[in-house]
Amino acid sequence: MEGRGGQPESYCHRQLVDAVRYLVAGGIAWRAVPADFPAWDRVYAFFRRWRDKGLVAEFHDRLRDRVRKTAGRDPEPTAGIIDAQSAKGAASVPATSRGFDGGKKVNGRKRHIVVDTLGLLLAVMVTAASVTDREAGRTLLERLRERHWRISLVWADGGYTGRLVDLARDALRIALTVVRRTDDATGFVVLPKRWLVERTFAWLMHSRRLARDYETRTDTSEAMIRATSAHADSQYGCPYPYVCIYGGPDASYPIVAEFQDVTDYFQSTNHGPDWWVVNTRNQDYTHLQLSNGTVYCLPPNGNLGGGGTLTGIVISNGGSC
């Protein structure tokens, strides 16, 4: 982040990033940024500059690559999952970039995303809610190909059938595979691969700023999604201030339990034979107990995977490992 000279900046970048994260998580207006942070207009100017220069996307992508390396994956993914979500538009959303989704009965905008097999964001595009998945899918897949040259397989739902499948294969060299419900399925059914992108949408909904679309410009909406995803990526989708247990050896598996109470005793749990634990707390340590009596210590903002049956967990203020 070396500049070209001139007057030094008045505020630390970390303070500005924290202010943006606070705004995104709390869903507040720019003018409502607390006095503990730099002045709201300086925070907005910082965010606007990063948005226009593509630094929000770069910040997010670098963090995602580090998360993939930590999980034992190559930084460049080879497969992804595509889907869309309609969100109501606030009064600040202009008529030129909003529409009506007849299927979901939503007046606002639509968020189109592609995620990897860990649920981490690869590409995002915001359009009017009236734009169909097929129409937006072409542009989104082109963006995906420009950024991730190794992508060769993308799973999708039935909204992406038709000519888009042929275009993805012939022009982009991507196998767009549609995952369908079986004819005899009734009610809610977890579909292979598609649940990963649905989980990412659930992660994004932890941010109150994304409960509906408040942004005047679509590129600002995309930047807000990336800012939210960057925080979710850093915690593997585990919301603060929880300690989350995943039902497998890494973060690609669903969260099966969440704990947040500080206690002086082991809270009962029963998960195994493989598990992954993420501690999102900034100061509290977590101790994990296995059925054979072994105890592991997890520091603040740490993660740990292992084997065996996990039978107890305790979150403690202070202490050490």
The secondary structure of the chain, three-state, reads CCCCCCCCCCCCHHHHHHHHHHHHHHCCCHHHCCCCCCCHHHHHHHHHHHHHCCHHHHHHHHHHHHHHHHCCCCCCCCEEEEEEEEEEECCCCCHHHCEEECCCCEEEEEEEEEECCCCCEEEEEEEECCCCHHHHHHHHHHHHHHHCCCCCEEEECHHHCCHHHHHHHHCCCCEEEECCCCCCCCCCCCCCCHHHHHHHHHHHCCCHHHCCECCCCHHHHHHHHHHHHHHHHHCCCCCCCCEEEECCCCCCCCEEEEECCCCCCCEEEEECCEEEEEECCCCCEEEEEECCCCEEEECCCCEEEEECCEEEEEEECCCCC
Residue-wise pLDDT tens digits, 86-97: 999 999 999 999
pTM (2 d.p.): 0.76
Residue-wise pLDDT tens digits, 126-140: 999 999 999 999 999
Task: Please tell me the predicted confidence (pLDDT) of residue 233.
Answer: 62
Residue-wise pLDDT tens digits, 283-310: 889 999 999 999 999 988 888 888 899 9
Task: Please tell me the predicted confidence (pLDDT) of residue 97.
Answer: 95
Task: Please tell me the predicted confidence (pLDDT) of residue 146.
Answer: 94
Task: Please tell me the predicted confidence (pLDDT) of residue 235.
Answer: 61
Tens-level pLDDT at each residue, the chain (321 residues): 455 667 777 788 888 988 998 899 889 999 999 998 999 999 999 999 999 999 999 999 998 998 888 777 899 999 999 999 999 999 999 999 999 999 999 999 999 999 999 889 999 999 999 999 999 999 999 999 999 999 999 999 989 999 999 999 999 999 999 988 777 767 767 788 898 899 899 889 888 999 999 999 999 999 999 998 887 666 666 777 789 998 888 777 888 898 988 888 999 999 888 998 988 887 889 999 999 999 999 988 888 888 899 999 999 987 777
Task: Please tell me the predicted confidence (pLDDT) of residue 76.
Answer: 94
Q: How far is CA 122 from the centre of its chain?
A: 10
Task: Please tell me the predicted confidence (pLDDT) of residue 232.
Answer: 66
Q: Is the peptide bond before 38 cis (omega within 30 degrees of 0)?
A: no
Helix orientation angle between 40-52 and 13-26, rounded to the nearest 10 degrees: 90
Task: Please tell me the predicted confidence (pLDDT) of residue 236.
Answer: 63
